Chain A
Amino acid sequence: MTETRTNIHIPNPAAPTPLEAARLTGGARPEDIESLRLQAAVYVYEVPVRLWHWVNAAAITVLIVTGYLIASPPPTMEIAEATDQFVFGYVRFAHFAAGMVLTVAFFGRIYWAFVGNRHARQLFYVPFWRARWWKELIFEARWYAFLEREPKKYIGHNPLAHLAMFTFITLGMTFMIVTGFALYAEGAGQGSVYDRAFGWVLGLAGNSQRLHTLHHLGMWAITIFAIVHIYAAIREDIMSRQSMITTIISGWRTFKDDRVE
C-alpha cells in the first residue's frame, strides 16, 4: 500500500507490535502485520438476524424439496396397508411444519427490525424515491456486467442485493406465506382459524387449482433466488472488498483494504 492513498485508520505509533509469537515462529510475515493494521470490522448482523437467516435457509430447503414432491409425488410405495403407511402424509407434514417455522421466524425477524440495529431494517425498505440509490444500483449492476473495474465498499447489502432481498424475501416470502396458509386453510376447513385469517385469498384466486399453480410458481422464484443468492455470496466473498460468508456466521464485516470509497 502506498502512502499517497487516503487512510481511514490513524495508526497509533505507540502501539506494541502485534502478534509477537506468530511473528517469531514465522507464522506472520511483515506484510501480514501491515494487512492486519488495515483490517477494520463492523458488527453488522446481530445474533437474531443470523439465527433467522439459517433457520430460514433450512426451512426454505425443506419447503422446496417437499413442495416439489407434493406436486410431483414419488412413485407408489406398497410398504404396508394404506392404514399403516403414511409416506405422503409425512411429506406433507414436513412441508406444513417447515412452513409454520418459516412464518414464526419471519414474524420474529420483523420484530427485530424494530428493536435491532439499522442493518436489521434494510431488508424491509427500499429507498425507492432516492435517485442516488438507483445510481448506485446501476453501478453495482455494471460491476456484475464487468463494466466497472472495481466494486464499492458496502457495510450492509449492496443496492443490487438489497433489491433482490426485498423482492424475493420480503415480498416473495410474504406471497408464499399468504398463499401457503390459504392452501392450508382448505385442509383445516371452513371456520377454522386459518380459514378466517386467509380464506379470502382463495376467493381472490377464484379456483383452488389456480392458487396451487401460483404457489408453485412462487416456489420456483425462490429456488432461482436461492441459486443466485448462493453464487453471489461466494463471488462477493472472493471478489468484493468486504467479507460476505463469514459475516452471516459471525456478524462482523471485515474489509480487505482501507481506502475510503
Chain B
Amino acid sequence: MAEIETFYEVMRRQGITRRSFMKYCSLTASALGLGPAFVPKIAHAMETKPRTPVIWVNGLECTCCSESFIRGAHPLAKDVVLSMISLDYSHTLMAAAGHAAEAALEETIQKYKGNYILAVEGNPPLNEDGMFCIVGGKPFVEQLRHAAKDAKAIISWGACASYGCVQAAAPNPTRATPVHKVITDKPIIKVPGCPPIAEVMTGVITYMLTFDRLPELDRQGRPAMFYSQRIHDKCYRRPHFDAGQFVEQWDDEYARKGYCLYKMGCKGPTTYNACSTVRWNEGVSFPIQSGHGCIGCSEDGFWDQGGFYDRLTTIKQFGVEATADQMGFAAAGVVGAGIAAHVAASALKRAQKKTQDKEEV
C-alpha cells in the first residue's frame, strides 16, 4: 500500500499549510470528544498512515444516507472523500459508470484485500433469490457478499443497513434483511438513523482512520460516542418534561411556548442518537427544536411501533390493534364484570344452601 499517499501529503498537495493542518487536527479531536493530548496523535496518524480505501455499496435504500453524508460540515464531506479516504467505489459519488465502475470495484477488492472498509447503504432483499434489488446485473446480496469477503470492517449506514427500515416493515414482502444478518464474520459498525447525522457519519470515518481501529461500540453495535444517550437525555425541552408541561395539541399555546412534546408521541425518551447535541445542518436545528416530536428513526423497528404521534403505541397481536391501556382497561372491565357476576352467583348459591340445610335439619 506504499503507493497510497498519507492524509498529510494529500493535504499539503492541496495547498493546506501545516498550521491549518494542525488546526484541523485540534478540531477533529474536539469533534470526537478527545482531549488536547490527542491532537499530536491525530497529526502523527495523518502524517504517517496511508489513506484507507473505502468501497461504498448501495442496496435497497433511498440514498438519504449519501445525501446526509455530503452535507457533512465537521469535517467537510469534501475533505473526507478527497483527502481522508480513498473512495474507490460509490454509485452516487463516483464519476465512472457501468462496466468502468464495476471494474473499479473489482480492482479495489483485489488490490487491497483485507484492508479496505466496506460501507453499506441500504440492505439486501433475500426473497426470490434477491431479485428485488439488482446491481450491475446481479442481485445486490451477491455483490454485498463478494465485497464483504475481503473487507477489514463494515459500516452499516442508516436504518436500512442496520435494522431493515421501512422496506423491512411487516409483512416485509421482499424480506429486506439488515447487513449483520447476512454477513456474520466481519466486524460491523451500525450507524443508524434515517438518515444518520452527517457529522456522525464523517466522525465515525475520521475516528477509524485516525486510530486505525473501530470506535467503541455499545451493545447494539453502534458507536458509543454518538449513540450512548437518548435524545431525551440532552433535550433542551427536558425541563418542561420534568415540570409536567406538555404540548397538548398541535399549535396550542403550549406548542408556541415550546413545551415538551412527550404527549404528542415524541420518541426522544426511547431513541438513542446525537440529534439533541450535534443537531443537523451544521447545528442549525433538529426535529424537536422545530416543534415536531422525534420519530425514533435510529431505533430498531421504529417503522413498526405504531403511530409517530401517540405516546402509547399500538400492539398488533392476534388481529387486534390497540394500545396497552385500551387492552388493560378492556381486560380489567371484563374481569370486573366477571367478579360482579361471581359475587351474585355466590350469594345465590349461599342462600340456596342455607335453605337446603334448614330443610335437612
Measuring CB to CB, which residues of chain A are less than 8 angstroms from any residue of chain B?
A: 68, 71-78, 80, 82-83, 85-89, 91-92, 144, 146, 149, 186-187, 189-190, 199-200, 202-203, 206-213, 216-217, 219-220, 223-224, 227-228, 231, 235, 239
Q: In chain A, what residue has the closest Cβ to B269?
A: A208
B window 247-298: CB within 8 A of A: 248, 254, 259, 262-263, 267, 269-272, 296
**In the complex the two chains form, is A208's CB within 8 Å of B239's CB?**
no
**In the complex the two chains form, is B224's CB within 8 Å of A224's CB?**
no
B window 304-318: CB within 8 A of A: 305, 311-313, 315
Residue B332, interface by CB 8 Å: yes
Residue B63, interface by CB 8 Å: no
Q: In chain A, what residue has the closest Cβ to B254?
A: A76
**How far apart are the CA atoms of A187 and B233 in the complex, in Å?**
7
Interchain residue pairs A-B with the least CB separation, the first 3: A220-B328, A87-B244, A88-B244
Residue B246, interface by CB 8 Å: yes
Known: A89-B242, A212-B270. A231 touches B328 (CB 8 A): no
Stretch binding the partner chain, chosen from B17-25, B73-81, B179-187, B342-350: B342-350
**In the complex the two chains form, is B324's CB within 8 Å of A186's CB?**
no
Besides A190-B218, A208-B269, A217-B324, 8 other A-B contacts (C-beta < 8 A): A73-B262, A89-B244, A206-B300, A207-B296, A207-B305, A208-B270, A209-B267, A216-B325
Inter-chain contacts of A75 with B (CB < 8 A): 248
**In the complex the two chains form, is A216's CB within 8 Å of B241's CB?**
no
Known: A216-B312, A220-B331. A209 touches B245 (CB 8 A): no
Residue B243, interface by CB 8 Å: yes
Residue B228, interface by CB 8 Å: yes
**In the complex the two chains form, is A220's CB within 8 Å of B327's CB?**
yes
**In the complex the two chains form, is A74's CB within 8 Å of B219's CB?**
no
Inter-chain contacts of B315 with A (CB < 8 A): 213, 217
Known: A199-B219, A206-B301. A227 touches B239 (CB 8 A): no
Inter-chain contacts of A89 with B (CB < 8 A): 242-244
Inter-chain contacts of B230 with A (CB < 8 A): 186, 208
**How far apart are the CA atoms of A85 and B262 in the complex, in Å?**
17
**In the complex the two chains form, is B331's CB within 8 Å of A224's CB?**
yes
Report the minimum CB–CB distance from A142 to chain B (whole Å). Answer: 13
**How far apart are the CA atoms of A220 and B315 in the complex, in Å?**
14
**In the complex the two chains form, is A78's CB within 8 Å of B245's CB?**
yes
**How far apart are the CA atoms of A72 and B339 in the complex, in Å?**
27
**In the complex the two chains form, is B224's CB within 8 Å of A71's CB?**
no
Report the minimum CB–CB distance from A161 to chain B (whole Å). Answer: 15
Report the minimum CB–CB distance from A7 to chain B (whole Å). Answer: 20
Q: In chain B, what residue has the closest Cβ to A228?
A: B335
Inter-chain contacts of A189 with B (CB < 8 A): 228-229, 233
**In the complex the two chains form, is A207's CB within 8 Å of B243's CB?**
no
Report the minimum CB–CB distance from B272 to chain A (whole Å). Answer: 8
Inter-chain contacts of A78 with B (CB < 8 A): 245
Report the minimum CB–CB distance from B267 to chain A (whole Å). Answer: 6
Interface centre among B267, B315, B328 (most CB of A within 10 A): B328
- 13 interchain pairs, CB-CB under 8 A: A73-B263, A74-B244, A77-B245, A87-B244, A88-B242, A89-B243, A144-B342, A206-B300, A213-B313, A220-B325, A228-B335, A231-B343, A235-B342
**In the complex the two chains form, is B229's CB within 8 Å of A209's CB?**
no
Name the contact of B335 in the complex, choosing from A82, A206, A224 (C-beta under 8 A).
A224
Q: In chain A, what residue has the closest Cβ to B252?
A: A76
Residue B220, interface by CB 8 Å: yes
**How far apart are the CA atoms of A209 and B294 in the complex, in Å?**
12
Inter-chain contacts of A77 with B (CB < 8 A): 243-245
**In the complex the two chains form, is A220's CB within 8 Å of B324's CB?**
yes
**How far apart are the CA atoms of A197 and B335 in the complex, in Å?**
36
**In the complex the two chains form, is A207's CB within 8 Å of B324's CB?**
no
Inter-chain contacts of A68 with B (CB < 8 A): 325
Report the minimum CB–CB distance from B222 to chain A (whole Å). Answer: 11
Q: In chain A, what residue has the closest Cβ to B339?
A: A231
**In the complex the two chains form, is B328's CB within 8 Å of A203's CB?**
no
Inter-chain contacts of B49 with A (CB < 8 A): none
Name the contact of A223 in the complex, choosing from B270, B271, B272, B332 (C-beta under 8 A).
B332
**In the complex the two chains form, is B219's CB within 8 Å of A203's CB?**
yes
Inter-chain contacts of A88 with B (CB < 8 A): 241-244
**How far apart are the CA atoms of A202 and B229 in the complex, in Å?**
13
Report the minimum CB–CB distance from B229 to chain A (whole Å). Answer: 7
**In the complex the two chains form, is B335's CB within 8 Å of A207's CB?**
no
Inter-chain contacts of B262 with A (CB < 8 A): 73
**In the complex the two chains form, is B243's CB within 8 Å of A82's CB?**
yes
**How far apart are the CA atoms of A149 and B354 in the complex, in Å?**
12
**How far apart are the CA atoms of A89 and B224 in the complex, in Å?**
27
Inter-chain contacts of B332 with A (CB < 8 A): 220, 223-224, 227
**In the complex the two chains form, is B335's CB within 8 Å of A86's CB?**
no
Residue B302, interface by CB 8 Å: yes
**In the complex the two chains form, is B243's CB within 8 Å of A72's CB?**
no
Residue B136, interface by CB 8 Å: no
Report the minimum CB–CB distance from A204 to chain B (whole Å). Answer: 10
Name the contact of B243 in the complex, choosing from A87, A149, A199, A200 (C-beta under 8 A).
A87
**How far apart are the CA atoms of A72 and B233 in the complex, in Å?**
20
**In the complex the two chains form, is B311's CB within 8 Å of A71's CB?**
yes
Q: In chain B, what residue has the closest Cβ to A230?
A: B339
Residue B299, interface by CB 8 Å: yes
Interface centre among A82, A89, A149 (most CB of B within 10 A): A82
Report the minimum CB–CB distance from B133 to chain A (whole Å). Answer: 24
Inter-chain contacts of A76 with B (CB < 8 A): 244-246, 248, 254, 259
**In the complex the two chains form, is A83's CB within 8 Å of B229's CB?**
no
Inter-chain contacts of B349 with A (CB < 8 A): 146
**How far apart are the CA atoms of A87 and B229 in the complex, in Å?**
24
**In the complex the two chains form, is B305's CB within 8 Å of A239's CB?**
no
